[in-house]
Structures are given as C-alpha cells and as structure tokens.
Chain A
Amino acid sequence: MRNPVLLHKTASQVQQELEACIGCNECLLACPALDEPLTIDVLNRETFGGPISAPVARFARSCYQCGACVPPCPVGLHRDAMMMWLKIRLYRSGEED
C-alpha cells in the first residue's frame, strides 16, 4: 500500500496544481475507476469549492487512490491528491447534512 501521507497536499498546493492543469485529460484516460464521462473543466471547478455534482461525487467515491493518473500527466501534477481533497470535501458535506 502506498504511504497515505504521500496523498496529502496542502490547500495552496492543490490550488496551484489546479491552476497549472492544462486540461489535457491524460489523467482521466489512465484512471481505472472512472466509469462515466466526466470532463476536466467540471472536475477542476468542483474540486476546490462550490457544490459537487452527482457525477463528480460518484467519481470521488470510486477513486481508490491508486496513483495511475500521475505518471501520464505532462505537467507533473497529482490528480490523486486533488481527488483526495474532493473526498474530504464530500465527507464533510455528508457530515454537515
């Protein structure tokens, strides 16, 4: 198992990664857990704040942090870390309900 600590990035790091994302979709193409069409624009916008739509929530739940999305990224970003934020946000929104 990957060391869980490695999955963690700070808020400013995740935001910086989202800003540097060129939207090439390579991470999603490599992801074994994504089983419905989802576009980067929606995923990126919902990762950091605001309401989480049902498809993004489903994806966030099914992401099992395998890291397959990281090597194909031409920019060297960590979709797994971004997904971790989404998971946390989802968890918290569930908690608030």
Chain B
Amino acid sequence: MRQDHAGHRAPLFKGAEQPSIDRADIVIVGNGIAGLTAAIQARSFEPDARIAIISDQNHPTINTPALKQFAVGKLTREQLLAYPPGTERQERIHLIHARVEKINAQSKSVILANGSAFGYGALLVATGSTPTALPSQLPGRDFDGVLTLHRLQDYLDLRRRLSEVEEAVVIGGGAHACETVMGLLHWGIHVHWLIRSAVLLPRMLDETASEMVLERIRQAGVTVYTSTEVIGIVGRVGSVIGVVTNHQQFIPCQLVVACTGTKPVTTLAKHCDLPLKHENGILVDDHLRSSVRDIYVAGDVAALKNPLTGQYEPRAQWYAAVEQGRMAGAMITGHREAVRPFGVPWHATHLGDLSMLYVGNPLQSPSGAYVLTDTSRGGYRRLLLQGERLIGYLSLGPMQPDSLAIKRIIDEELPVRDILKGLLKGEFDARQYLTRRRTYTAQDLVTSGRLASVKPPTVQTAAQTTPEPAPATRSLAPAAEAAQLEPRLPTTEQLPPLSTGPVLAPQRAPVAAPAGNAGPRYPIVHEEEEISPFTGTLPALPEQGQGRGQPGTRLNSGSLPSRPEQERGGRRNLWAYSDPALPAFPRQSPAQRQQVRAYNEQREGGR
C-alpha cells in the first residue's frame, strides 16, 4: 500500500499506472524458493502489478535440497532448476542482479550495493540462510580443504576436489551432516563423522532413533565419533592434512566439511531505518508481517512463533519456504482468503538409508500427553498422543509413510483411535484413510471407464470447498487402550453414516487453496531464446535485442508474444557456468570398493 502525505492508504495496484523503472509495486529480496514462489503467487492475483526480485545469487532458483543428488552425480545442473527456464519472464517478473544493502522503510525503498535506491509498494525479505562457520578462534579453519556446503558453488567446488580426497572429516550432528557423510561415502571416501552431542539430531530424534541411524551408518563403513569436537585443524602449506579432537586424537584427512547448522540472513533487519524486529530470524506474525508496515518476510529468514514453546524460530525447510512464499504472495496482494495456516512442523528426509519423518512435536511432553513406541518392521515409531488426538509422530524405517497425510491428521485434529495400531506399526495406509470418503469419483472412473465425470485438478476457493466431514466415531474407548485394539486397517468399504457418532474434535475445515487464479498460472510459452533470462548473471536479459545486462541492470521483461507449444525447443542453455559438470573420479581402495558395493546392494535389497 502506498501512503499519501495525509497517511491515507492508496491502492497498491492500479492497472493503468506505469511505475517508473526504479520502483515496483512488489519488491522481493532473494530468488530462493520462497522469493520466487511469492512472486509467482502474487502475479496470479495481480496481472498488472510490477513485480521485481532483487537477488545477489548468480543463477536461477534451484531445488536446493537436490544439491545432495547433484553431489553424488545423480543430477546434472540443468536438472536442479525449480521452475522451467523462462518462468520468470513468462510471469513478467523483473529480475535484478544486485545486493540489497539496506531498507529505507520511511521512504519505502531499498538501497542497492551501487548506491541506487529502488522503491517498493510492499517489500518481501526472503534472504534465506547462511551456514554457521566454524568458531573464529578455531586454529586452521581457513586452510584450503575446509568447506561448508550450502550453495551450488559449494557443491561445484566439492566435486572438483573429490578426486584428491581419500579421507574426509564431517563435523555436525544434523540431517545435513548425515547427508554429506553419505554423499562422500558414495564416492568411496573414508569418512570420519564428528558429532558434538551424544545423539544425532537431538531436537528431532530420541536416543533410540538416533542410535538406529548411527548404527547403520557405522555398518556402511563410516567412523562415527559422538561427544567429540574439533579443537584444531592441521595443515601443510595451506592445505588440510588432518584435525585434532577434544580427545587429543589426530584424524588424517584431505577434506573437512563443516555442517554445523545454518543461521538466518538478517543483515537487512539490522540495516533498516525503522525497527525491524529480529533475533534468530526476522520476527513475523502468522501472516508473515514484520514489525514494519508493508514489509513481509518469508523462508529461512522468517522467525515464526512456535505455538508450543512460544519462541520465535525459523522453520528452515523446503516445504515451509514454499508455503511461506505462497502466503506472502497472497498477503501482499491482499488475498487473505487464499491464506492457509501452516499447521504443525513437518520434516521428511533420508537419514542414511533410512527414511525419517517428524511431524508435530513428538519429543515434547505436554501435560496429559503420553507416548507409544514400536520397533517392528525394521523401523521405529514414536507417537505422542493427547486424549484421542495425535500431536506428534516420529518414524524411522526403510519406507517413508504418507508423510503429508500424517501431517494432515495432526493439523486437522482427526481422531486416530481407529487407526492407532496401524500408525504405530507403520502399516497404516494414510492415503486411503484420508481419501476414502472422496473416492467415489475415482471408483467410478476406473470401474465404468468413464473419465469424463472426473473434474480436472482445479484448485478450489474456500467458498467452493466442502469441508470434509469429520469421520464418524463409534464408542470411544479410552485412548490408552486403543493401542491394544485389533488393527482396523482401512478398507475400501463405504463408511457408516457420518452422523452417527460424536465428533471428537472440532474439525478445522482446511482452508483450501484459492481458485483458478490463485494457483500458479501457466500462461504463454516462449521460444527458448526469449525465455532464457539466465544466460549471464541472473537478470541479464535486457529488453529484447539488447546485450547482456550488468549486475544491477534493471530489466523489464515485459510481456512477450506467445508461441505454440510445439515450437518450444528442448535446449536448456541457461547456465552461466562455462565449466561442464565435473566427472569425479574417486580413488577407492579395493576394500572400500567392496564395502560400498556391499552397502549399496544391501540398500537396494532393502527397498
């Protein structure tokens, strides 16, 4: 919203109004997934608004988590893209390659590194996070061969080095450390894994789960050191040759990877002329509004209140960043009806060869709650229940359960009495449970061969959505007993009439995604040359026909003529990097090769 001198709020978007090139209605700092998602979402609501992303990243938005697959050569760089090449241009999002130095919230502008000002109607800070470096007093932390892995460049650097590495030290006790260990192991490198605490991922795993993961990783050939810290890095002629631990042990290595966590990039909050509240991240309310009017925050840099602890903390995960991007896009354009609550924390990933799912707060112990655990089927599950409600779910095992369905069960406070045993034993088909009330169309589709009655997957408005009725419950046995009940595995049979039993918890109708215009729009398709704004530095495509832009160049992508789909070429020449993907030739001893092969076979077999 723009304010006139009297303080009246004038509409932010006026179709006819053409803002000057040094301002935009919506300015987004950062082209990570949160920033780009917000821009696309905002565009879907406001076809005429001027939207600009200013970022110092020199490549398009990528699927950052897939960098792990890139590290082991399963993906090429082109396969890392989060959106098809040219999406920004299609969506008429201006890309400006520059670093933002500060925010002048009073004059509603940001100051770029070259000193120029760029005005905004609404500002979204989506500056992400940065790896926490090793302690500044740690001897040897600057030797060549000491790395952090966070950005694409870091992974390119890693892949260049791999051929010279026989032994590596990984420092850190989180999922990122675990994934890094597995990646290095893949190349036949002997890995020493140093974890400061006694358990892995202390905020997400309990002791049993942690030990399960560590044991399998040890079996795969990794040397794991728990309760161990590095007190110094030893080098020769500037390169790493080993580390010394707090147990006075010297571990020889040619590579040290510090995976000691990330921290939100809050520099802009520090350099804002109005108080933009920040601690561990920039503080936002549950609609991503910061303490300064018209400044929103999304992604890794946003600190949201944890309803359980009351503390503000970032939810530095991919899905959270996407969800927040969507919400920010809706909020900035005033489409609050499209806002979906975030629900409980959720994280699903691989830890070694095991799948980990963390939903809600399985490690907390609020009053009246109780824990059920199970170790059947080669896995481990920990359920935290309060009365008839599931409030936390942790699972570890060879297979990932339907992770989002379990989140839905917790978010929507669905009663779990009938499915408790399945959940506990890891045999629960959550998908079936959640969809069986809606399967009649699909059944019709398959049995009658008539597809026509199936609606295409349009996104519904809140108004269109019929809230799913809460499942009927019969008599309510005390929850603790429920664990011993016979498993009532969901079947495809029809549910008994829905109104027969008491509804356990008031069902929060899921606020469905917004209507047609709210989902990402998929407009015109352009020729490859036109849609490739990333052949140089990020914003480098100036107006058609002109040369490559310089960093800081402003670019008006404007609207472009459409081309029929068939004409679209398959080329993806969008990367600025001239060096080809590096084949890494790890040196493996025969014993190591054997070990890796055996491990991989076991892993394949386990699937």
Which residues of chain A have a CB within 8 Å of any CB of chain B? 3-17, 19-20, 22-26, 29, 39-42, 45-46, 48-51, 53-55, 71-78, 81, 85, 88-89, 91-92, 95
Inter-subunit contact A89/B456 (CB<8 Å): yes
| B438 CB, nearest partner CB in chain A, Å | 6
Inter-subunit contact B435/A8 (CB<8 Å): yes
Interface code B163-199, partner A: CB below 8 Å = 1, 0 otherwise?
0000000000000000000000000000000000000
Collect the chain A residues with CB atoms within 8 Å of residue B132's CB: none
- Contacts A4-B446, A88-B451: A17 and B404 contacting too (C-beta < 8 A)? yes
Cross-interface CB contact of B65 among A15, A24, A29, cutoff 8 Å:
A24
Task: Judge whether B66 is part of the interface by a CB distance below 8 angstroms.
Answer: yes
Collect the chain B residues with CB atoms within 8 Å of residue A45's CB: 83-84, 87, 520, 522
Inter-subunit contact B350/A48 (CB<8 Å): no
Interface-central residue, B87, B405, B429, B447, by most chain A CB under 10 Å: B405
Cross-interface CB contact of A22 among B79, B81, B318, B452, cutoff 8 Å:
B318
Cross-interface CB contact of A25 among B79, B357, B403, B442, cutoff 8 Å:
B79
Inter-subunit contact B402/A76 (CB<8 Å): yes
Inter-subunit contact A8/B439 (CB<8 Å): yes
Give 9 pairs: A residue, B residue, CB < 8 Å, sorted on A: A5-B436, A6-B429, A12-B459, A20-B348, A41-B83, A48-B459, A51-B522, A71-B400, A73-B400
Inter-subunit contact B459/A15 (CB<8 Å): yes
In the A-B complex, the 7 residue pairs with the smallest Cβ-Cβ separation, listed nearest first, are A50-B522, A23-B63, A76-B403, A76-B400, A8-B442, A22-B65, A4-B446
Inter-subunit contact B75/A25 (CB<8 Å): yes
Residue of A nearest to B439 (CB): A5
Apart from A11-B457, A76-B357, A92-B451, what 16 extra A-B contacts exist at CB < 8 Å? A6-B429, A11-B513, A12-B460, A13-B434, A19-B319, A19-B326, A20-B319, A22-B63, A23-B82, A25-B69, A48-B457, A49-B522, A50-B523, A55-B570, A74-B400, A88-B457
- Contacts A15-B457, A75-B403: A25 and B84 contacting too (C-beta < 8 A)? no
Collect the chain B residues with CB atoms within 8 Å of residue A14's CB: 457
Tell me, in angstroms, the Cα distance from A77 to B482 when the chains sit together.
Answer: 28
Collect the chain B residues with CB atoms within 8 Å of residue A51's CB: 522, 525, 565
Task: Judge whether B219 is part of the interface by a CB distance below 8 angstroms.
Answer: no
| A91 CB, nearest partner CB in chain B, Å | 5
Collect the chain B residues with CB atoms within 8 Å of residue A19's CB: 319, 322-323, 326
| B325 CB, nearest partner CB in chain A, Å | 9
Inter-subunit contact B565/A77 (CB<8 Å): no
Task: Judge whether B422 is part of the interface by a CB distance below 8 angstroms.
Answer: no
Inter-subunit contact A8/B84 (CB<8 Å): no
Collect the chain B residues with CB atoms within 8 Å of residue A4's CB: 442-443, 445-447
Task: Judge whether B355 is part of the interface by a CB distance below 8 angstroms.
Answer: yes
Inter-subunit contact B607/A5 (CB<8 Å): no
Tell me, in angstroms, the Cα distance from A7 to B492 when the chains sit together.
Answer: 12
